Amino acid sequence: MPIYEYKGLSKAGKNVKGNIDSDSLRAARLKLKKDGIFVVDLIDKTKRQRKKQTKSGSNRGVSVNDLSNMTRQMASLIQANIPLVDALGACSDQMDNPLLKDVLAECKTAVNEGSPFHKTLRKYPKIFDKIFVSMCEAGEMSGTLDVILLRLAEFTEDRAELNSKIKSAMLYPVIMLVFMILILAVMFIFVIPQMMSIFEDAEMQMPWYTVMVINLSSTIVNYWWLILLAAGSIIFGFIQWTRSETGRPKWDAIKLKLPVSGRLTRMIAVSRFTRTLSTLLAGGVPMLNAMDIVKNVVNNEVLAKAVREARDNISEGESIAGPLKKSQQFPPIVIHMVGIGEKTGDLEKMLNQVSDTYDFQVKNQVDGLTSVLEPIMIIIMGGVIGVIVFSLMVPMFELANIAD
C-alpha cells in the first residue's frame, strides 16, 4: 500500500507532519480530514523513492526469482477468480522484496483508478521488459491474463536457468586466469627482484632467457602505472568501439565467426529467438509485434538485422521461414522446423521444440568447452610459471657450482 508524507494544521492550529498509508491520494486526504488535520502538502513517498531508483537506472533490487514468484502468485490468484486489484494487493502484501512490494502497490492504485494493467507495468521498464508488458497486454485483451502470467513465469525461469549454466560454466576458467595473473604479479614484483640482486652481487654471466625475464620484471616494477594506464585505455577504447554504431555490428559479426565460441554464440541467440517468439505467439501477441520484440533478445546486431529484415518481408505477406532463410544467419534445421510449423498451423510448438533442442546443445557445448578449457588453463599456467622458474634456477645452479 502506498505511503504518503503529509504536512498540515491540527484543529488547534499547530503544524503537524507525518506518514500515512492509503490506497490513493484522495483516500489519504479523506482519512486525514477525518482525523481533524487540514492538509497543506501531501506527497506520495513511495513514488518519489521509485523515481530516484528509476533515474539511477537500478533494477538490482528485483531478482529473476522474485519476478517469477510474483507472476506465479498473480496467475494463481486470477485463476481463482480474484479481481486484478485484489490480486495485486495480495501479492504486494506477500512480497518480501521491498522494491517489488512498492511497485505492486503503485500498480494496484493505478489499476484501481482505471488504468490498464499493462500500461501501469510500462512505467517500470527496469523491472518489466517489453516481453513482459506485451504479453500482459495480450492477456488483458483476450481475457487470459492468468495463463499468460503462468507462461511468463516459466519463460523467465528457463531464460534464467540458461544464463546461470553459462555463467557457472565459465566461472572456473575466469578464476584460473585471475589466479595465474596474481601468481605472475607476485613473482615479477617480489621474487625476481630479490633473485636479481643475488645475480648482480655474483657478477656472473646469465643466459639470454634469464636476462629477458629479469628485464621484464624490471619493466613491470618501474613502469607498472604506465602498463596499467595503457591496458585500461585499450580496454576502455575497445568497449567504446563495441558499443558504437559502426563498431558493434563489426564486433558482433566477428563473434559469430570465432572458431569455438562463435557457434556457441549463435546457438544461444537462436535459442533465445525461438523461445521468446514461441512465448509471445502463444500469448496472443501478433506476429509483427512479436518480431519487433524478439530482435532485442538475440543480443547480436547481425542477427537482429536479419530479424528486422524478416519482419519487413512478413509485413509484405511473406512467410517467416523464407526471409530467415535469405538472411543465411539461422541454421537450416531452424528454417525447416519453422516452415513445417507454418504449414501445419502449429508454429508455437515447433519453435518451442527448436528452443528445447538448442538449450540442450548449448548445455553440452558449454560443458564440453569447460572440460577443454580447464586442462588448457592449467597447462598454460604451469608452462608460464615453469619457464620463469627454469630461467631463475639455471643461474642459481651455476652460482652454486662456482661456490663449490
Q: What are the mean pLDDT values of the chain's consecutive 10-residue runs (404 residues total)?
A: 73 77 74 80 65 47 82 88 89 86 86 88 87 84 82 81 77 84 86 80 78 87 90 94 90 88 86 85 84 83 88 85 86 88 87 87 80 82 86 80 62
Distances (CA, A) of 204 to 31, 71, 188, 264, 387: 92, 74, 21, 53, 20
Q: Which set of grid coordinates corresponds to residue 264? A: 556457441
**CA separation for the pair 25, 3 (Å, rounded):** 9
pTM exceeding 0.75: no
By CB atoms closer than 10 A (0-12, 13-18, 19+), residue 182 is: exposed
CA-nearest of 77, 110, 81, 111 to 91 is 77
Residues 6+ apart with CB under 8 A from 359: 158, 162, 271, 275
How confident is the model at residue 229, as a pLDDT? Answer: 95
How confident is the model at residue 46, as a pLDDT? Answer: 59
- 6 has which bridge partners? 18, 42
pLDDT tens-digit map of 239-298: 999 989 889 999 999 988 888 788 888 888 888 888 888 888 887 888 888 888 888 788
DSSP state at residue 189: I
How confident is the model at residue 32, as a pLDDT? Answer: 79
**CA separation for the pair 280, 376 (Å, rounded):** 42
How confident is the model at residue 57, as a pLDDT? Answer: 40
- 44 has which bridge partners? 4
- Sheet containing strand 15-21, strands side by side: 15-21, 3-9, 38-44
Whether residue 295 contacts residue 307, with contact meaning beta carbons closer than 8 Å, is answered with yes
How confident is the model at residue 50, as a pLDDT? Answer: 53
Whether residue 250 contacts residue 238, with contact meaning beta carbons closer than 8 Å, is answered with no
Whether residue 334 contacts residue 354, with contact meaning beta carbons closer than 8 Å, is answered with yes
State CA 36 to chain mean position distance: 50
pLDDT tens-digit map of 317-331: 888 888 888 888 888
How confident is the model at residue 226, as a pLDDT? Answer: 93
How confident is the model at residue 250, as a pLDDT? Answer: 92
